Structures are given as structure tokens and as C-alpha cells.
Structure 1
Amino acid sequence: MASTTGTVSSSGSYNFKVVLLGEGCVGKTSVVLRYVEDKFNDKHVTTLHASFLNKKLNIGGKRVNLSIWDTAGQERFHALGPIYYRMSNGAVLLYDITDEDSFQKVKNWVKELKKMLGSDICLTIAGNKVDLEKQRTVAVEEAEEYANTVGAKHFHTSAKMNRGIEELFLELSQRMMERAQVQENERASSLGRAGSTRRNVVVVEDEEDEAAQTKSSCCGVAS
């Protein structure tokens, strides 16, 4: 199982990898371009394989560097998924609120992520294209209830209206920071315990060596 520990530098900055997953045409590229570059293109652009963009944040005085991977949603590229989402700290699973099938496919992605990365990865599920609310086919209650059952946060987004996207990535970043700090503390504690054990072993060995030397010296005098 791949590790999903985010890196924390000595200066206190965080580096995270976030992957966007979902069917083709749900708006993954539009969401990430709106977030990183504040751009929106009405024309659909098909992502081939994957691309990534970087975003720098300042949260509570801490610097956060996000590497956001935008993956292809077409069925023929699904086998490449693990190549792009391994070592991810967070995942945004997008569905189109007007496409029930795209929501059902999100459930498959969640199962795969949990199988490959365990429970360490922070999950966010987003119902995109809320500018098409009148055409909604995915019930809000159903989507939010499902997100709760898998430990994910749920957001409603629209790249066209620039709605919910900043909030989504901010909340996800905060969760990744909290998880990274917990993991860092656990690692430091583990190293501390290991160091203490090693020191105790050295002390015991020194005492045994000293006792052996003393015995040898005494015997030498006696003879």
C-alpha cells in the first residue's frame, strides 16, 4: 500500500499531491483551471492521460504547496489511474449533477482509492455544474449521505460561476495539514522511543563490559 504522507519542511511549509478523478466531461479541467488560474473556457477540452498545475497557499501563516493532478476521465484511460494517484495526499472526486452515471462512477473511484491508499488519503466529493441546477438528476441528500458514509466532505461547485471551488480546496488543504501534522508527531514519537531503547541497550552493554573488566582485573591481582 502506497504511503500518503505529505512532506513538512524544516521551515514549516507543506507539500501535498492532490488528484482529480471522475468521468470525462464532468469538468475536472475547468475546475482546476478556475482554481489555479481563475480562467474558464466554455469549450470542452479533453484531457489526455494527465497534467498537473501548482498552487501556493498561505493557511494560518503556514505555506502550502499543492500539486494538483488533472486526470483523463475516458474509460480507456482508467487503467492508468494508479500511476497518477499513487502517493496522493488528497483526492477530489467530481461528478456532474446532471449525470447520474457520473455519480455512480465516483463510488468506484472511492473503492479503488481506499484499496490502493488506505484511509490515510483525504477525500472530497464535488457535485459540479450547479449552474445547471434545473437539470439536476443527482439528489443532494443522496450525494451528501454517501460522502458521509465514506468519510469524505461534499461540496457543490461550478467552474462557470466560480462557486465552491476555493472553499473546496481550502478545506481539503486544512485536512491534509492536520493529518500530516499527526503523522509527523507519530513519527517523531516513534523515533524517540527507538532512540530511548537503543540508549538503554548501550548502557546495559557498558555495564556488562565494565563488570567483566573489573572481574578480570581482580583475578589478575589475586594470581
Structure 2
Amino acid sequence: MLGDSVVLFIVGNKIDLNERRTVGSSEAEEYAKSVKAEYRETSAKEDTGVIPLFEDLVISMLEKSKERIEEVHNTTLRRHGSRRSIRVVDEQPKPSRKCC
């Protein structure tokens, strides 16, 4: 439903049980491509590929977030013009001249 605004990974776990596999790597990779997802294989038992999976997921999420922020920013600039002025205001209270 969210289309390109999400990051999608398909993960084949339990690669340590390769002899019991029912879906081959190439079939899983093809499916992942067809749904615009990344495909990774892991084994939580053997601690294989789990950390790189999460690292890749986080990096992809940050990149997608950055793209979205830039897209919104560019849309705002187009809507309001690219010339912006910034006014800095000192909000510190002025000292009172009265004593005590």
C-alpha cells in the first residue's frame, strides 16, 4: 500500500538447514526483485548474516528517509519559491534597570 515509501527486505533464515530447503536462492532472489525488495540469507543459529542484514536495513531506511525529506523540501521550495529569508531574533529578556 505504501509503494516506494517503505524499505522491503525478504530474508531466508535457517541457511544452516540447507538440505531441508524448499525454496531455492535463485527463486527467492527473483521473487524479491519482482516485488522491489532486497533478498538476504541468514542463520540465526550460526550467527551468519544477521548483523549485516540489520546494518543494510538501517542504511536503506536512512537513505529512503533522506530521499523523502529532500523530496518534501524540494516540493516546498517549488511551491513557495526558492528565495527564503531568515530572521534571527534574540529572545533573551532585557535586563531590568531597577535595583532589588
> Runs of 4+ in structure 1 displaced over 3 angstroms?
none
Query: 2-side partners of 1:134 and 1:193: how far apart?
Result: 56
Matching residue of 2:21:
136
Q: How does 1:40-51 map to 2 (within 5 A)?
A: none
Q: Secondary structure at the match of 2:68?
A: helix
1:177-208 deviations in Å (ceiling 9; x for gaps): 111111111111222222229x9xxxxxxxxx
Q: Secondary structure at the match of 2:36?
A: coil
Task: Give the structure with the higher percent strand.
Answer: 1
| TM-score in terms of structure 1 length | 0.35
Matching residue of 2:35:
150
Aligned residues: 83
Query: 2-side partners of 1:121 and 1:139: how far apart?
Result: 26
1:95-154 deviations in Å (ceiling 9; x for gaps): xxxxxxxxxxxxxxxxxxxxx322211110011111111111211111111111111111
Query: 2-side partners of 1:140 and 1:196: how far apart?
Result: 50
| TM-score in terms of structure 2 length | 0.73
Matching residue of 2:62:
177
**Identity rate, percent:** 41
Query: 1-side partners of 2:2 and 2:73: how far apart?
Result: 22
The answer on whether the counterparts of 2:14 and 2:43 sit within 8 Å (CA) in structure 1 is yes
Query: 2-side partners of 1:124 and 1:177: how far apart?
Result: 14
The answer on whether the counterparts of 2:15 and 2:42 sit within 8 Å (CA) in structure 1 is yes
* Higher relative contact order (Cα pairs below 8 Å, separated by 6+ residues): 2
RMSD: 1.8
